[in-house]
Chains A and B, each alone.
Chain A
């Protein structure tokens, strides 16, 4: 007998909309999230912020309605709960306040979202260098505003953070953009399809207008990022733009090169993954409803491929409708009928994606940085070390791990897998999908030995 019908891992837009849909359909749902409040990263703290911090914008505030829908007697929630193991069964092992628990369900939906793509360059490990998304988390969760900050990189989030900073009264010192005219050319053929998402496109243009109107200095086609520490703890940031070396001093250097799916959980569960060339990232293989090749395991939202918050909410609803049908609460005709609206929403939300993926593609130097760059922050291994190891015969990520310890630190490769892979693929121009995704093993988040011991005692007692 399972504890509940459905366990949902991650309370972002996909997880929240799935929980509400499943509970309304009669399923008993357990919703787990590592953070202290629902919302995921995109709507982080949305219910608590209410109408304060209005500079975060209307889009952000709209997440509140997803949080409200969690108020349903069929949904139990656990926040501050870190899932560290997921097995067939399905069985979920999660830890909260130093104690681990095992929960079982007929179905598990993984909505673990995305992480920012690592942006390695010489100096990216210095205090003061952070991802733009991290600064945004501090704005949402603590009302902390970046001071004397430069935004550098590319992607919609870079513009959004710049606009939020302007509205909050702390405009960035400069926005240094890496996208090239060539990327825009590559993106143009996707524009007709993107017109379905025209309102989002207009919102994006509005952000750029706001940055221009605020008189923020912008640099385009920038490359060769480098940061050095100044005596007073500030950063000396240098880059090439229009063939000229440019120097900026700042207290905070906020980088961004898009987001990639968080796949540690799906990989550790043995779900098949595929390489998404346009997004330069691995994603789990799923069907239209989010089902995977593992019985009872489903994936929706950004953790199944980057689509953004609206796409995630729609995909979460679709996955929940399908799970309702699998549990016998709906027949397939009703499921399909009820899915029509979410399907249309998903199509609309995704229509802009190919254009964005091409226009704001990660730069070559982000994917495979210069030799002196640290790529594995935990073990302090440089791109040069990785290339050296390749010249000595290493051809895959497994061998790299054994010879260099890349990905063996506490982050378990979350900050270096993408880079090591790109460096491995660069010289022979190997199609990136010929190298399998690195394996992820439980525990996918560190657990103390004491916690493990306590858990095995419970298990022994139950047997």
Chain B
């Protein structure tokens, strides 16, 4: 079920970018963070923990790591620290420590 965004839509004016989240095409104002764009799009979780609990971006300032998503095949990307770009392909992340390319120290 799609949960409506917990935020009012950002102002209409200004240049936009388009990106893909899971199977959806999303339009967002240029220059905002990917986490902001995802929160503006819906109130759904963008990450699941390894026990299956749902999480969304929390601190918006790079501290909590709740906003991790897969961007263009790179997992563990902090979406609150990533500016949304045209053509980005974004996926939900399950768990924190994924193996392919995401071997973090």
Q: Which residues of A contact B (CB under 8 A)?
A: 34-36, 41, 48, 82, 115-116, 125-131, 133-134, 137-138, 141-149, 170, 232-234, 251-252, 262, 377-378, 380, 409-411, 414-415, 443, 445-449, 452
Contacts and interface: CB of A to CB of B under 8 A. Distances in A.
A301 to B, nearest CB: 15
Given A36-B83, A146-B6, 11 more contacts: A125-B53, A127-B44, A128-B56, A130-B60, A134-B57, A141-B33, A144-B7, A410-B65, A411-B65, A446-B104, A449-B103
B68 A137 contact: no
Contacts of A115: 59, 61, 63
A320 to B, nearest CB: 25
Given A170-B8, A233-B43, A141 B32 contact: yes
A233 B96 contact: no
Contacts of A380: 49-51, 53
A82 to B, nearest CB: 8
Nearest to A146: B7
B36 A446 contact: no
B66 interface: yes
B105 A452 contact: yes
Interface in B62-79: 62-66, 68, 76
B65 A378 contact: yes
- Name the 5 nearest CB pairs between A and B, nearest first: A233-B3, A410-B65, A134-B60, A142-B32, A127-B56
B5 interface: yes
A251 B5 CA distance: 8
Interface of B: 1, 3-8, 10-11, 29, 31-33, 36, 39-40, 43-45, 49-51, 53-66, 68, 76, 81, 83, 96, 101, 103-105
A448 B104 contact: yes
Contacts of A137: 60-61
Contacts of A126: 54
14 contacts: A48-B31, A116-B59, A125-B53, A129-B58, A137-B61, A142-B33, A148-B6, A149-B6, A234-B3, A262-B63, A415-B63, A446-B105, A447-B104, A448-B105
B46 to A, nearest CB: 8
A449 B59 contact: no
Given A34-B81, A127-B44, A233-B44, A409 B96 contact: yes
